[in-house]
Amino acid sequence: MTASIWTRDLVMKHRAAARIEAGYVWINDCSSHFISAPFGGYKQSGLGREESKDDLYEFTQVKHVNVSILQAQSVNGG
């Protein structure tokens, strides 16, 4: 879901953008897309974010591997 706000009131722009539950909000513009800016909806209107590195995270799985160099040296007689 997207939203577009049209107003000259600077305070109203930011207040409205913060309250709107949409994945992409334009202020005094609509339908412009920017390279690497995540595009996607809120709640049931979208899954994930497209058009950015966030889109690639859906195809990854995070794993942390910690290797202790000190322990490895003592086990190998180093």
More confident residue, 34 or 76: 34
pLDDT on residue 69: 82
Give 60: exposed, middle or buried? Use CB within 10 Å, 0-12, 13-18, 19+. Answer: exposed
CB 25 within 8 A of CB 4: yes
In tens, the pLDDT along 4-60 reads 889 898 898 889 889 988 877 888 988 777 776 666 666 666 565 666 676 677 778
Give 24: exposed, middle or buried? Use CB within 10 Å, 0-12, 13-18, 19+. Answer: buried
State in Å, rounded, how far the first CA of the chain is from the last one: 59
pLDDT on residue 47: 60
pLDDT on residue 68: 75
User: Does the pLDDT at position 3 exceed 70?
Assistant: yes
